[in-house]
Chain A
C-alpha cells in the first residue's frame, strides 16, 4: 500500500467549477506538498504545508494532521488549470509521491 493515496485519479470539470482533490497519507510524514505537472513538462511546487491552510490565487490547500488528510481546492477553474496534480509527503530528504490526479477543465 502506497504511503500517499490520492483521489480521484481522473477529474473532468467545466470551466468555472470548484474543484477538490484529496490526499491521505500515513505516519512518518512531516509536511505535505502539492505539485503540478503539465504534460511532458517538469514539476512545479504549489504548496508545502504542515498545518492549517494556505492560499495562492485561486488555489487553496488545507491539511488535517489528526486525520492525516489534505485537500487541494481550485476555485473558478479554467482550462489552463488542466494538468496532473500530485501530493507528496515530505520527511527530511524524502518525498513520497501519490500517483497524481489528472485534471481536465473544459471550456
Chain B
C-alpha cells in the first residue's frame, strides 16, 4: 500500500492525557498537511510542512499542539493535556506540489475521543 498511512485509527483518552498521532505520507511527496474535522463540518487546516520545515500553523493550533516532521518523511502530531473539545478526526494529507497544480492524498484519519 503506497497511500498515506495514519496510526492509530482510533484513540480514546482521558482528559488531561497526552496523545501522539503518526502520519506516513506517500514517499515522493515533500508536502505534508494536518487537518482537523469535527462532525458535520469540513476539515480545518492545522499545519503544513515542506520537507522537514513547518511553514505554516493555523491559529487553531494552540500551545498544546505540536507537530514535527524530523527527517522530511513521517510526521507526528502531539496534543498535550487533552480537552474534550479536542475530540475530532485528525486527517493527514500529502502532495508533491501545491494545491494549484495537484490533488491532495489523504490518510484514513485518526479519530480522537477525549472522555
Which positions in B face A, CB cutoff 8 Å?
4, 31, 33, 40-45, 48, 50, 55-56, 91, 93, 98-109, 111
Contact = CB atoms under 8 A, between A and B. Distances in A.
B99 A99 contact: no
Given A33-B103, A90-B100, A93-B55, 7 more contacts: A45-B105, A47-B103, A90-B98, A91-B98, A93-B31, A93-B56, A97-B43
Interface residues of A, number: 27
A97 B42 contact: yes
Contacts of B103: 33, 45, 47-48
Contacts of B93: 43, 95
Contacts of B4: 42
A92 B98 contact: yes
B12 to A, nearest CB: 15
B110 to A, nearest CB: 10
Nearest to B10: A40
Contact of A31 (B48, B101, B111): B101
A40 B56 CA distance: 28
Given A42-B109, A43-B106, A45-B106, A95 B40 contact: no
Contacts of A97: 42-44
Given A44-B106, A45-B104, A45-B106, A92 B42 contact: no
